[in-house]
Structure 1
Amino acid sequence: MSDRDPFAEIERALDTFGEQFGVDLDSVPTDIVDAGDAYVVRADLPGFDSEDLDVQLADERELTISATHSESAQSSDGRYVQRERRRQSVSRTVRLPAAVDEEETSASYDDGVLTVRLPKVSADGDEDGTDIPVN
């Protein structure tokens, strides 16, 4: 029999896979949609509660989504022979293509999907640009 930990072997294999193929397995999968007047960011965060989530916007363009969840197996009778605890923490920062209005942002969390709506900053009516006459 081998004294090797099969779970440690699996963890090493996943780390190697991530390094070779540029896949961050601890990252939060996100979609960024340009909805015309706003950017909509959807992030998959299954297994978290809304209280576990932290969403922050910096410099009108950098959205950071973090989630941390802790749980423990509880036993009320006898002494612990084994006690397992799980802590999961993920984070993702995305840079938006243009500045957004920090005051008008909103977020909702439903069935493991975080949706953040970030209205674009208007250019005070100059959305089509400025005409430059050619002589």
Structure 2
Amino acid sequence: MFDLIPFGRRREDAFGQLVKSFNDVFSDDWFAPFKGNVMSFHTDIRETDKAYLVEAELPGFQKDDIEISYADPYLMIKATRKEDSSIEDSDRHMVRQERRYGEYMRKFYVPDIQDEQISASLKDGILKLEIPKKPNSRVKRIQIRDDM
């Protein structure tokens, strides 16, 4: 005759089905062609009066694997990992071969900097950048007048 499900529970099930349908339509697999292989990494950014200080976590990367570029007003840090490993048996037959490739990238909006004086260092998987500001790029506070 009727479903023996209380009214409130029927509503929850309908809402649950709606959420599941929404998640199925917009799952990662559907967006896979648009995402590409670019991954991100963690960064800490501090600002002083004279510079921006950036620390990026890039464990396992060598300095030759990292590219830093500035195209006004964007600073880009890109790290590329290319690994090939193979294991052969005593008769030089391939037992296992693995390849990994990945590109990690971050882009930052940093206008009014002295791009020719950016310094970078890499130690223990931490990339440190010092990005000097232009001397005249200080923020000026404007007071609102009351005479209207």
TM superposition score normalised by structure 2? 0.62
Task: Give 1:67's aligned amino acid.
Answer: A
The equivalent of 2:57 in structure 1 is: 44
Matched, 1:81 2:122: no
1:64 to 2:52 alignment? no
**Is 1:93 aligned to residue 104 of structure 2?**
no
Change (3 A) 1:128 1:42: closer
The RMSD of aligned alpha carbons is 2.9
Q: Structure 2: which 5+ runs fail to align?
A: 1-26, 32-37, 142-148
* Cα distance between partner residues in 2 of 1:127 and 1:82: 58
Deviations 1:11-57, CA, capped at 9 Å, x for gaps: xxxx85xx9xxxxx921211111022011111111111111000011
Amino acid at match of 1:27: S
Alignment size in residue pairs: 108
- Would you say the 8 A contact 2:87–2:95 is kept in 1? no
TM-score by length of 1: 0.68
Provide the rounded CA distance (Å) in 1 between the counterparts of 2:71 and 2:54.
Answer: 15
Q: What's the secondary structure of 1:51's corresponding residue?
A: helix
Matched to 2:106, the amino acid is R
What is the distance in 1 between the residues matched to 2:116 and 2:62?
A: 24
Please state how far the C-alpha of 1:62 moved relative to its aligned partner: 1.2
Flag the structure with higher helix content: 2
**1:26 matched residue in structure 2:** 39
Instruction: State the 4+ residue runs in structure 1 displaced beyond 4 angstroms.
Output: 126-130
* Larger gyration radius, structure 1 or structure 2: 2
In terms of fraction of residues, the more strand-rich structure is 2
